Structure 1
């Protein structure tokens, strides 16, 4: 009996050692492909604590809390001048101030979106908004974009601040990666590269086929003071509505076991493959929460612009991965979204098409700047030219024509919605 127990124990130890050894080897191989065990932290890091403490100290001494915005999460600081950009007293990029109503002989265009629309990493004069405005004296282009925004925040900025500026054309900017941001509340949950981005954001959910807004969870300075002192509790509360917090794995007391690490990584990969934002081939997953939500936000944004008698134009930016897929002759991962726009008759411009029409052989490094793939001055020029061509082709240069067209489009959309209901 003792020999049987000893043999069984040795067999179990041998199997355990073999399993751990194979798991160790598998983790090593995965690491060579840049895939590592990275549980989502349940608390702030020392670096994040230091950064948040400095911001709170700044608020106590100077009364400013960075770019924090109670409703939108964050925004462009007003009347700000740095080496990178200038903003006016209305929080619009550039030095010029704007009246709420445009002059009768001016076509006003307002742009909303993230850093690609904002023009990060290029000077004010090199953004597509500035270049478009210089192309025709009748054009007035307002840049309401904010770096790191999701489509949800861009829509909310239009709803709360931009709609009152009486624009004739409303440009809805969307970089293809933004589909992830629409299901995110706290950017560090999304990716470790965003460790320093400590402001939370609002997000929408779809309930009974309707958009429901979940307000910004940390809307006050006191809520950030609580984050600093009770970070585990607050992060868990924020994570309740964050896709990445809910679907990612968290630290475990058994993480010292290589087999546990590998199993948790495999489970996460399998679960997000079937209900993830992207399919295994890199295409948008049309059955995901993120895709359905993104379509709903586009619907709401598009309709609201029409309600204010403005003509919406959706601008889709490719990221570096999209440009690489193009050069490999792979399908555009956001193609399902383009299909939705075509089916609904939404006015849209695919910037990748504009790049191809400019020069099929143009290099990615000529179109982009920096590690994030923001548009270069040339890339911005191509966008400006594509928008100008779109405006000229459909002859939307008089305000009465624009308003009549907006009314007709809104009526058409409302009739389609009533028929479906």
Structure 2
């Protein structure tokens, strides 16, 4: 009788192996969802998700420990593991490199390619500056100011260099009724006519007062301080508004505006800037001290830009920083998916608003400028301290006004905290008179109206918003 084939013996390990694979995949999915999407989970499901996350991490660690116990350590295994790890890293490196190259075209926050030449718009702006056909004029101390008597596209600059056509007496008839307004294009009232700026509305709301509009398009906080020192003090007056738009934190520490806005033809110029490095704060002078420097730039763009990169602290550190595409990809995804915020949710600890990261978009300085421990934040805070202190020493009443971007408004409508919360905390700690206009808008308007179209012409406030801003300033000053 021939031997019949033996019946197959059922494998006990197969189902267990499949179950183990399913559990590992499920655990990875839970961990990934927790880090990437936890903020979207309804609050009622947060605790179940925390429990699942803890169980998943525990299970993955257990499986790792089991694998280590089963593994026989010898020279060949170590060498093979190292070679395999190197090959896997090489593949990951190439994937991230391609991804960064493709995404850099859509999101400038990923690129670290150093500029070597001016854009056509910047070059045109420099030539306009040299020919005298520009709304701003070079100023060695401030960087630039508006060209007196110039008018363009509904914007007028008075013979005194102020926004509008009104001419004011140099000595205030009543210093207690004069307000000095310093800041950038939001103070200047860009994109609106002369009679729709907030200083103009302030005069209409409080007849008999004088609101001196010293706003300079494209200027940063450091320039606003220097504008006050050079051109503001002479106007006298009791009140000083220090306007600060939230995107200006990078301008404070930037020495060459095209590094921040390469396609702005109005102000492709160098400027003084604040610096906080090695624990020391300083205001660095304008790198260019005459128009001849700009002629030299046009003759050797690459050489001059390279010199400015060495001065521009945060641009320089950004170029030196995330050159590894793997690191850049991980940092980008961590920020974009708000993983630090999700980590706080997982640990059930209060959400520090500084964890709600600034979306840099085309900002070459990244998110760190809003972190209270970063040199960029410290530089901004020190300039505010200096500005506020000098105004008070002059016997005047300072008021810091934080002005939101359209993105800030849209984020508030979604219930997200302000990206600049650490700066507001600094003001409260110092006892500074201030208000966040974003809070004012949120208190006045329902969430469905908190959108760009409600408050902005394009990127700057419309006349209605400027009028409301003037009302809030009058209220904050408690003007009689």
Instruction: Please indicate the TM-score interval, normalised by the length of the shorter structure.
Output: 0.7 to 0.9
Cα separation, 1, equivalents of 2:476 and 2:423? 20
After TM superposition, give the deviation of residue 24 of structure 1 in Å. Answer: 6.1
Query: Which of 230, 240, 248 is matched with 1:178 structurally?
Result: 248
- Tell me, what secondary structure is at the counterpart of 1:75? strand
Query: Which of 364, 368, 389 is matched with 2:455 structurally?
Result: 368
Cα separation, 2, equivalents of 1:56 and 1:333? 35
CA RMSD of aligned residues (A): 3.6
Cα separation, 1, equivalents of 2:233 and 2:143? 19
Query: Which of 372, 380, 391 is matched with 1:294 structurally?
Result: 380
Which residue matches 1:281? 356
1:22 pairs with 2:92: no
After TM superposition, give the deviation of residue 89 of structure 1 in Å. Answer: 1.6
User: Does structure 1 conserve the Cα–Cα contact (< 8 Å) formed by 2:138 and 2:291?
Assistant: no
After TM superposition, give the deviation of residue 351 of structure 1 in Å. Answer: 0.6
1:74 pairs with 2:74: no
Summarize the Cα distance change of 1:37–1:355 in structure 2 as closer, same or farther, 3 Å threshold.
closer
Aligned length: 369
- Once the two structures are overlaid, the 10-residue window that deviates more, 295-304 or 31-40, is 31-40
User: Does structure 1 conserve the Cα–Cα contact (< 8 Å) formed by 2:125 and 2:265?
Assistant: no
Which residue matches 1:401? none
Matches within 5 A, 1:8-407: 18=91, 22-23=95-96, 26-27=99-100, 30=103, 34=107, 38-45=111-118, 47=120, 50-51=123-124, 54-55=127-128, 58=131, 67-104=137-174, 107-194=177-264, 197-206=267-276, 211-249=281-319, 262-263=325-326, 265-266=328-329, 281-282=356-357, 284-361=370-447, 362-372=449-459, 374-392=460-478, 396-397=479-480
Cα separation, 2, equivalents of 1:309 and 1:36? 43
Cα separation, 1, equivalents of 2:477 and 2:135? 40
Deviation sequence 1:107-161 (CA, Å, 0-9, x none):
0001000111111111111111111101121311111001111110001000111
Summarize the Cα distance change of 1:49–1:382 in structure 2 as closer, same or farther, 3 Å threshold.
closer
User: Does structure 2 conserve the Cα–Cα contact (< 8 Å) formed by 1:152 and 1:203?
Assistant: yes
Cα separation, 1, equivalents of 2:329 and 2:319? 11
- Tell me, what secondary structure is at the counterpart of 2:398? strand
User: Does structure 1 conserve the Cα–Cα contact (< 8 Å) formed by 2:175 and 2:237?
Assistant: no
- Tell me, what secondary structure is at the counterpart of 2:146? coil
Gaps of at least 5 residues in structure 1 are 1-10, 251-259, 398-421
User: Does structure 2 conserve the Cα–Cα contact (< 8 Å) formed by 1:105 and 1:138?
Assistant: no
User: Does structure 1 conserve the Cα–Cα contact (< 8 Å) formed by 2:126 and 2:269?
Assistant: no
- Tell me, what secondary structure is at the counterpart of 2:443? helix
User: Does structure 2 conserve the Cα–Cα contact (< 8 Å) formed by 1:188 and 1:195?
Assistant: no
User: Does structure 2 conserve the Cα–Cα contact (< 8 Å) formed by 1:40 and 1:245?
Assistant: no
Summarize the Cα distance change of 1:136–1:116 in structure 2 as closer, same or farther, 3 Å threshold.
same
After TM superposition, give the deviation of residue 65 of structure 1 in Å. Answer: 9.5
After TM superposition, give the deviation of residue 68 of structure 1 in Å. Answer: 1.9
- Tell me, what secondary structure is at the counterpart of 2:319? coil
User: Does structure 1 conserve the Cα–Cα contact (< 8 Å) formed by 2:179 and 2:212?
Assistant: yes
Summarize the Cα distance change of 1:170–1:378 in structure 2 as closer, same or farther, 3 Å threshold.
same
- Tell me, what secondary structure is at the counterpart of 1:340? helix
Summarize the Cα distance change of 1:209–1:42 in structure 2 as closer, same or farther, 3 Å threshold.
closer
Summarize the Cα distance change of 1:351–1:72 in structure 2 as closer, same or farther, 3 Å threshold.
same
User: Does structure 1 conserve the Cα–Cα contact (< 8 Å) formed by 2:354 and 2:422?
Assistant: no
After TM superposition, give the deviation of residue 28 of structure 1 in Å. Answer: 7.3
Deviation sequence 1:352-411 (CA, Å, 0-9, x none):
122123223433234433442x1111111111111222233xxx54xxxxxxxxxxxxxx
- Tell me, what secondary structure is at the counterpart of 1:375? coil
- Once the two structures are overlaid, the 10-residue window that deviates more, 139-148 or 354-363, is 354-363
After TM superposition, give the deviation of residue 286 of structure 1 in Å. Answer: 0.2
User: Does structure 1 conserve the Cα–Cα contact (< 8 Å) formed by 2:354 and 2:421?
Assistant: no
User: Does structure 1 conserve the Cα–Cα contact (< 8 Å) formed by 2:140 and 2:286?
Assistant: yes
Cα separation, 2, equivalents of 1:241 and 1:101? 39
Summarize the Cα distance change of 1:345–1:231 in structure 2 as closer, same or farther, 3 Å threshold.
same
After TM superposition, give the deviation of residue 236 of structure 1 in Å. Answer: 2.1
Cα separation, 2, equivalents of 1:166 and 1:83? 31
After TM superposition, give the deviation of residue 228 of structure 1 in Å. Answer: 1.6
User: Does structure 2 conserve the Cα–Cα contact (< 8 Å) formed by 1:106 and 1:138?
Assistant: no
